[in-house]
A and B are shown apart, each in its own frame.
Chain A
Amino acid sequence: MQLTNRSKVVSNKQMTLAEKMYLPAILGGMWITIRHFFRKGATVRYPEVKREVSTVYRGKHVLKRDEQGRENCTACGLCAVACPAEAITMDAAERKKGEEHLYREEKYAAKYEINMLRCIFCGLCEEACPKQAIYLTPEFPAANYDRSNFIFGKDKLVEPIDKRIDVSLRKKVHTS
């Protein structure tokens, strides 16, 4: 009884004598493997050689400063809300008198932590940020032996004043 019209006739032919000897097939296999022997592998020797990544690669985060070197972040928490992996936590604090050169607005993040093991580098935090404070950079979070070292605080996230990080390309991704 034919149930469907997709049935296939299976070939169950006996092997010929030449095929039964296997030798041609073995030689064919060896020819294939030896060609691979001389092929260049795709391996990148990582710590010495770094694979080139896209200029808009989503890697380690940076907390941006403005032109006068003040932190953009106001600890509104929108990034933490947007984060699907719940990797971001922060504590807000009020800016004191005399700290105007450090923080751009009256409120700032006293503590800002991203758990790099939870983070999935989706970039939703930078999309959510109303203050253009957080961006992803093409850098990788370095390997480590201890899980606790993967919780990056402000010391690792805020961009250094003397070594500003260019995120214009990431910005373009969001405006276009």
Chain B
Amino acid sequence: MDLALLLDKTILILILFGVTLFIAMYSTYAERKVAAFLQDRIGPDRAGPFGILQPLADGVKMFMKEEIIPNTADKWLFIIGPGIAMCTALMTSAVIPWGKNITIGGHEIVLQVADINIGILYVFGVVSLGVYGIMIGGWASNNKFSLLGAIRASSQMISYELAMGMALIAILMSTGSLSIRDIVENQHGWHWNVLYQPLSCLIFIVCAFAECNRTPFDLPECESELVGGYHTEYSSMKLGFYLFAEYTNMFISSAIISSLYFGGYNFPGMDAFSGNTLAIIGTAVFFAKIFFFIFFFMWIRWTLPRFRYDQLMRLGWQVLIPLAIFNILATGTWMTFKGQLGF
């Protein structure tokens, strides 16, 4: 093993870890600010200028709170639950290409922790592990609301993963690779997948909302029905972990949506640049896209009310999955005949 490579990857992982946590932290602040602005309010503005230090205050509050483990709870699972949720949320970022390669003094640094050729499958695998964090937490609490929330979460996530995977197949067909790097490279300039596969993109975004348990699919934790859903019994930083995992997931799904459908680090007019400049601008563009999608998540949250559970299931099984299958069919047909009909 090359020592320089090991060092590269270690540093990249540490930076990624920090950046992910930082963005997740500030997503909580952004969420409150966006909510406030959308509701003609001001939002948190007491801690520091414009309330910038609010996440720190929230963090301190979370740590200082009394930690309660219910008597009837399964203690170990109760503790492991939030850990799994957090771990899986952080693991996904490993296969996302954050930018083009940067060359420093002849040494090329790849801005991606692991360019594995089944990148997308890895993402799906880790994301489906995320169900365990919620399920274990909800089950171990030994509380009916928690259990209901956990069951809702798992059935919802499993249902929407199907449609999500189906929607992706169209992209895989047109790209011919499972590696996210390849998929991003394939969208050079303005040739973003969203322009070629709008239906697939729409289905994917809807499913991403459901996978992240965000409104309008926040049934696992709907306050108005289930108190807090799967994290009803949680307090202190264990609750913080669950909330944090949710925001991390939001960041990661924004990154995946941007790299799969919105060109990742590609942008129109990118041919004018080259080398490190291109890589840096590309990364900046990528993060701009990610931030837009995080905002989009929040925007939707404060626009749409929650689905009813039967509506949720009907949308997933009877609308999105058939649509996704139709999309695969249409893509396949087009790919087969495009050469022959002279397009």
> Are B299 and A39 within 8 A (Cβ)?
no
User: Which chain A residues lie closer than 8 Å to B300 at the CB level?
Assistant: 30
Q: Mark A22-44, 1 if CB is under 8 A from B, else 0.
A: 00001001101110110111110
Interface contact tally, CB-CB below 8 A: 33
The reply on B65 being an interface residue by CB < 8 A is no
User: Which chain A residues lie closer than 8 Å to B39 at the CB level?
Assistant: 36
Question: How distant is the Cα of A39 from the Cα of B39 in the complex, in angstroms?
Answer: 9
The reply on A45 being an interface residue by CB < 8 A is yes
Question: How distant is the Cα of A106 from the Cα of B304 in the complex, in angstroms?
Answer: 71
> Are B45 and A33 within 8 A (Cβ)?
no
> Are B299 and A42 within 8 A (Cβ)?
no
> Are A45 and B45 within 8 A (Cβ)?
yes
User: Which chain B residues lie closer than 8 Å to A33 at the CB level?
Assistant: 38, 299, 302-303
Tell me the nearest residue of chain A to B301, going by C-beta: A33
Q: Name A's interface SS.
A: helix
Tell me the nearest residue of chain B to A39, going by C-beta: B40
> Are A37 and B42 within 8 A (Cβ)?
no
> Are B37 and A36 within 8 A (Cβ)?
yes
User: Which chain B residues lie closer than 8 Å to A43 at the CB level?
Assistant: 41-42
Residue of A29, A39, A40 touching B303 (CB-CB under 8 A): A29
> Are A37 and B304 within 8 A (Cβ)?
no
Minimum C-beta distance from A6 to chain B (A): 31
Interface residues of B in 23-44 (CB under 8 A from A): 34, 36-42
Question: How distant is the Cα of A33 from the Cα of B39 in the complex, in angstroms?
Answer: 8
Tell me the nearest residue of chain A to B37, going by C-beta: A37
User: Which chain A residues lie closer than 8 Å to B40 at the CB level?
Assistant: 36, 39-42
Interface residues of B in 158-216 (CB under 8 A from A): none
Tell me the nearest residue of chain B to A35, going by C-beta: B38
User: Which chain A residues lie closer than 8 Å to B45 at the CB level?
Assistant: 45
Question: How distant is the Cα of A34 from the Cα of B299 in the complex, in angstroms?
Answer: 8
User: Which chain B residues lie closer than 8 Å to A40 at the CB level?
Assistant: 40
User: Which chain B residues lie closer than 8 Å to A42 at the CB level?
Assistant: 40
Question: How distant is the Cα of A32 from the Cα of B302 in the complex, in angstroms?
Answer: 11
Residue of B34, B38, B42 touching A45 (CB-CB under 8 A): B42
User: Which chain A residues lie closer than 8 Å to B38 at the CB level?
Assistant: 33-34, 36-37
Minimum C-beta distance from A52 to chain B (A): 18
Question: How distant is the Cα of A39 from the Cα of B37 in the complex, in angstroms?
Answer: 8
> Are A26 and B303 within 8 A (Cβ)?
yes
Question: How distant is the Cα of A29 from the Cα of B302 in the complex, in angstroms?
Answer: 10
> Are B304 and A29 within 8 A (Cβ)?
yes
Residue of B36, B41, B42, B303 touching A30 (CB-CB under 8 A): B303
User: Which chain B residues lie closer than 8 Å to A26 at the CB level?
Assistant: 303-304
Minimum C-beta distance from A74 to chain B (A): 47
User: Which chain A residues lie closer than 8 Å to B34 at the CB level?
Assistant: 37
User: Which chain B residues lie closer than 8 Å to A41 at the CB level?
Assistant: 36-37, 40-42
Minimum C-beta distance from B167 to chain A (A): 16
Question: How distant is the Cα of A43 from the Cα of B46 in the complex, in angstroms?
Answer: 14
- A33, A40, A43 pick with most chain B CB within 10 angstroms: A33
Question: How distant is the Cα of A41 from the Cα of B45 in the complex, in angstroms?
Answer: 14
Can you list 30 A-B contacts (CB < 8 A)?
A26-B303, A26-B304, A29-B303, A29-B304, A30-B299, A30-B300, A30-B303, A32-B303, A33-B299, A33-B302, A33-B303, A34-B38, A34-B299, A36-B38, A36-B39, A36-B40, A37-B34, A37-B37, A37-B38, A39-B40, A40-B40, A41-B36, A41-B37, A41-B41, A41-B42, A42-B40, A43-B41, A43-B42, A45-B42, A45-B45
With A36-B39, A42-B40 known, 5 other A-B pairs at CB within 8 A are A30-B303, A34-B38, A37-B34, A39-B40, A43-B42
